[in-house]
Structure 1
Amino acid sequence: MAYKIAFFGDDFTGSTDALETLEEMGLDTVLFTGIPTKDQLKTFEDKQAIGVAGMTRTLPTGEIEKELKAVFDLFSKMEIRHVHYKVCSTFDSSPDVGSIGKAIDIGAETFSAHVVPLIVGAPYLGRFCAFGNLFARMGTGQKGEVFRLDRHPSMSKHPVTPAKESDLRRHLAQQTGKKISLVDVTQLEQSAAEIVSQVDEKEEKTTVVLFDVMTEQHLEKIGEVLERLSKQHQPLFSVGSSAVSKALCASWKKTGELLPRVEWPQLKPATPLLVLSGSCAVVTGRQIEHALENGFAEVAVSGEKLLSGSNEMYIVSIAEKVLHDMQQGKSVIVHTSIGPDDTRVEGTRNVLTQQGAGGYEINTRTARLYGKALAQIADHVLQSFVLERLVVAGGDTSSLFAREFGIEAVEMVAPIVPGAPLCRIHAKKAHIHGVTINFKGGQVGDLDYFLRMENGD
């Protein structure tokens, strides 16, 4: 089996973002929730690309190597042209948690990389990189004000990895000792051949090369550069947002190697809809409030009660409440908070602190707590109620939800909004196999996101 590209995503919503990018550009892709077995690879042997959804974004730096090395070792034994370590388009990371620098060190060693391209800017998601500095819209896509990352209303206040530095070179230098150079917007006016010749002149054994990205045309040029580099070394190990896939696919399209997909099944209504949110993002909070104002029922989940001794009974009681509302034809949102100022956020933190957790461990344990609880609630509901569609909100929560829920792999069904496609579940559990699911990050989507998912707009 030969693949054009294989990727590892540092969380689940980021992985479905990469899946969507490849599928929309015409590359048949499957996304696994763990290291695929030989039998699983054989089941999807017709695919041109594969991905593995990880959760390294929430892992302490010391724990990243164990998860990442196993996947990279597998990729190194396969026939693959490009290997992509997929990170969030807002570059969520720190020296202590979700270290992208650590991932670069592991990948560079595994694939004997001389040059590691780094592409983060994704104009189609409202992410722009200029002279090494990252800018992001509030939300994704074409709406919302653009902020420098360290002044972004949400990302500058991220509970685990707040953005304190917008210059990605400075940010990454805190996580790796490797040399970091830049191909800026002015250099992107040169030909791909000229850029490659400059990149190849780097003196260090391994150099991370950050590319500015402001336009789709920049991505096409960068794709040509990556293809030229891959002819010198395969697999070529690159790091970045879904812009890596977008750039490569744009290059393959230009050479006629790939034809973008233009037709997708029309999204049908799915009433009642079940939404499970472990996000405390401002955008998701507003989306929840809007859905509740427009007829959705809600079930509020208390982290404090989940941490109590009656956890199992509490989860069953929530699931039964959800079932009752859905049997009445109501769409339901199960949420752990409505925005970052919800009192439940602080309440959960206080209990975890009393239990001895501190720093980033609080957020890691919170994500695990919510991911597991929401998966158990959904599993209980689906054993008694046939659902067409699920929505899971929250990047950190999604990774843990997918594994706890029993998802082995997903395939894309149709695009919804950039970065959050509708997917179909492959699983051993009969009651969830074939169900469609949408994973969305906390910042993704417009105000009416959940209404659109219900109505099929």
Structure 2
Amino acid sequence: MTQAEQQLPDGPLLAYYGDDFTGSTDSMEAMTAAGIPTVLFLDLPTPDMLARFPQARCVGIAGSSRGRDPEWMQRELPKAFAALASLKAPVLQYKVCSTFDSSPSIGSIGCAIDLGVNCMPGRWSPTIVGAPRLKRYQVFGHLFAAVDGVGYRIDRHPTMSRHPVTPMAESDLRRHLAMQTPRRIELVDMVQLRNGEAASQVHKLQADDVPVVFVDVLDEHTLAAAGRLVWENRGNGLFSASSSGLQYALAAHWRELGLIPREPSLPGAEAASAIAVVSGSCSPVTASQIARARTNGFLTERLQLDKALGSATREAEIERVVAVAATAIERGTSAIVFSAEGPEDPSVTGFNQLAVAAGLGRHDAARQVGTALAEVMRRLLDRVRLTRVVVAGGDSSGEVASALDIQALTVAAGLAPGAPLCRAWSSAKVRDGLEIVLKGGQIGGVDFFGLARDGHAVALSPDHVAQTLDMRRKR
């Protein structure tokens, strides 16, 4: 490789569309920690919005396609992909969850790929799902995820195998994706990555039909090898439907070449006097976090879904929980408003009946829960003084961010892998500078909400400090 080839090209390096808000911040965190200035927009950015972030070398758009049908995707995604492709980054990514949960009718990754490959000239479409930092591993095409130190094949995972919308019944991602697209689907496995045959395999697989090529990732070695495979075979531009494993893989490869700081790092979050949390997550991980917060000085208040979904009772229920939470926050007590506490919660197991009773379809009812939580957060911010808020659950995060009139996010500090503390950018003065955490259901340890309130210290490398100060001077 020549010296010129060992330098990162000028301009944007990666542009991505996130299929939900929490996953979008996960990708932003991965690149920012690697020393790649990154900005995440909450809608298609205008030229004026882009001009506010001239230093950005990774640009994302946070979307909601994970919960949408193919008709919506065919209508909306081409506009987003075209806007991102116009930035001329060598890799255009459709960012998916590292659990790859999707179906032919909801959040179809296959549909997104069929739309996205038309925006880039590449003759293969790599897909990296494994992300060791997030305890996600792909081996011979099968996806595994660890919970509390125990690894599960994704179709036997205690949460994802029972996901209420897109349960994972197949761990072989080639077979899973084949139900969503007729496109040719191939694999570069961990043995080929380790013995040096991966590049020749990609050369054989490339063709005008633009096959999807899954790339195994088990550990840091295969992660860096996957990043090298994508970067050295990017040609004039690739489209990739991948988790944040793509960001981690590219960063690992660039780090091996000495192109970015040797140690990924982020500043530590300082403590906040009190925080507000809204949670629409049904995950057992989030349930354990709510339970721990309850014993750690937080007020926890349930949003009663039968009332929140009823047209005659919705307003009163929202106002009730806002009043309870606001009273606690004014006393200096952090507050959590939640709609469910784990997958066995009656509000989850009986959700279909709640929707029917409200005269709503399941999908519309789920979105109404998200908008109710968003309204709770909006009213809390208007009523009490808060500098930091947390949203748990991908769908809820999108609804809340939209309700708060936030246009963009950047990473302010590290908290837990996949859930950074973000700085909100807004044209509304009262929202600009708000600290916000968007947490996926599976993300974080049992003390996550306490951590979000109390902060923690993270050691910084000198390189990262210098880059952070340089970015601030350019704003």
Report if TM-score (shorter chain) is over 0.5: yes
Does structure 1 residue 310 correspond to structure 2 residue 313? yes
- Shifted more, 19-28 versus 326-335: the winner is 326-335
Q: Is 2:107 aligned against 1:105?
A: no
Segment of structure 1 superposing worse, 212-221 or 13-22: 212-221
What letter corresponds to residue 388 of structure 2 in structure 1? R
Offset, 1:27:
0.2
Q: Describe the shift of the 1:101–1:307 C-alpha distance in structure 2 as closer, same or farther (beyond 3 A).
A: same
Report SS of the residue matched to 1:2.
Answer: coil
Structure 2 counterpart of 1:32, from 11, 34, 41: 41
- Residue of structure 2 equivalent to 1:284: 286
Equivalent position SS for 1:305: helix
Partner of 2:299: 297
Farther off after superposition, 5-14 or 323-332: 323-332
Which residue in 1 is equivalent to 2:392?
393
Once the two structures are superposed, what CA deviation does each residue of 1:38-89 show, in whole Å capped at 9, x if it has no partner? 1101111221111000011000122112221111111222221111111000
Structure 2 distance, partners of 1:348, 1:152, is 22
The 2-side partners of 1:451 and 1:332 are apart by: 11
Q: 2: distance between equivalents of 1:187 and 1:254?
A: 19
Please name the residue that 1:412 is paired with: 411
Equivalent residue number for residue 248 of structure 1: 250
Provide the rounded CA distance (Å) in 2 between the counterparts of 1:76 and 1:432.
30
Q: Contact between 1:87 and 1:241, CA under 8 Å: does it hold in 2?
A: yes
2-side partners of 1:346 and 1:436: how far apart?
33
Shift of 1:357: 4.7
SS in 2 for 1:352: helix
Corresponding residue of 1:223: 227
The reply to whether residue 6 of structure 1 matches residue 9 of structure 2 is no
Give the equivalent residue in structure 2 for 1:41: 50
Give distance in 2, aligned partners of 1:104 and 1:96. 15
Distance 1:8 1:196 in 2: 27
CA displacement 1:265-314 (0-9 Å, x = unmatched) = 33222122211111111111111111112221122101221122232233
Q: Distance in 2 between matches of 1:283 and 1:7?
A: 27
What is the DSSP-based 3-state SS (H/G/I as helix, E as strand, rest coil) of the residue aligned with 2:261? coil
Distance in 1 between the 2:320 and 2:171 partners? 45
Distance 1:454 1:146, change over 3 A: same
Sort the Cα spacing of 1:448 and 1:369 in 2 relative to 1 into closer, same or farther, 3 A: same
What is the DSSP-based 3-state SS (H/G/I as helix, E as strand, rest coil) of the residue aligned with 2:267?
coil
In the other structure, the counterpart of 2:261 is 259
Q: Which amino acid aligns with 2:297?
A: G
Shift of residue 238 of structure 1?
A: 1.3
Q: Distance in 1 between matches of 2:275 and 2:282?
A: 20
The residue identity in structure 1 corresponding to 2:278 is: L
Q: Measured at CA, do residues 311 and 447 of structure 1 come closer, stay the same or move farther in structure 2, by a change above 3 Å?
A: same
Give me the whole-angstrom Cα distance separating, in 2, the residues matched to 1:376 and 1:396: 14
Q: Secondary structure at the match of 2:204?
A: coil
Residue of 211, 215, 231 corresponding to 2:215:
211
Query: Greater shift after overlay, 338-347 or 68-77?
Result: 338-347
Letter in 2 for 1:208: V
Which of residues 153, 164, 168 is equivalent to 2:173?
Answer: 168
Distance 2:45 2:346 in 1: 40
- Partner-residue secondary structure (3-state), 2:233: helix
In structure 1, C-alpha distance between the alignment counterparts of 2:94 and 2:30, rounded to whole Å: 14
Indicate which of 353, 357, 364 corresponds to 1:350. Answer: 353
Match of 1:187 among 181, 192, 209: 192
* Correspondence for 1:124 among 122, 129, 133: 133
Q: Does the Cα contact within 8 Å between 2:411 and 2:421 map onto a contact in 1?
A: yes
Q: Percent identity?
A: 40
Q: How far 1:189 moved relative to its partner?
A: 1.6
* Counterparts of 1:106 and 1:304, CA distance in 2: 39
* Residue identity matched to 1:185: M
Residue in 1 that maps onto 2:426: 427
Taking only aligned residues, the RMSD between alpha carbons, in angstroms, comes to 1.7
Deviations 1:374-418 (A, max 9, x none): 221111111232212111111222122211222111110111111
* 1:292 counterpart letter in structure 2: R
1:92 aligns with 2:101: yes
Does the alignment pair 1:52 with 2:55?
A: no
Return the offset for 1:354.
4.2
Tell me the amino acid that sits aligned with residue 246 of structure 1.
Y
Give 1:260 shift: 5.2
Deviation at 1:439, TM superposition (A): 0.9
**Which deviates more, 348-357 or 436-445?**
348-357
Letter in 1 for 2:134: L
Aligned length: 445
- Cα pair distance change 1:12/1:196, threshold 3 Å: same
> TM-score, normalization: structure 1?
0.93
Deviation at 1:18, TM superposition (A): 0.2
Match of 1:337 in 2: 340
What SS does the corresponding residue of 1:3 show, helix, strand or coil? Answer: coil
* 8 Å contact from structure 1 (residues 371, 404) kept in 2: no
Q: Is the 8 A contact 2:281 2:340 kept in 1?
A: yes
Structure 1 residue 316, shift from structure 2 partner: 2.2
Q: Distance in 1 between matches of 2:239 and 2:30?
A: 18
Are 2:337 and 1:328 equivalent residues in the alignment? no
- Which stretch has the larger CA shift, 21-30 or 79-88? 79-88
Q: Is the 8 A contact 2:19 2:95 kept in 1?
A: yes
Contact 1:57 1:99 survives alignment (8 Å): yes
Aligned residue for 2:289, secondary structure, equals helix
d(CA) in 2 for partners of 1:225 and 1:299?
Answer: 49
In the alignment, is residue 178 of structure 1 matched against residue 177 of structure 2?
no
Mean Cα deviation higher: 418-427 or 251-260: 251-260
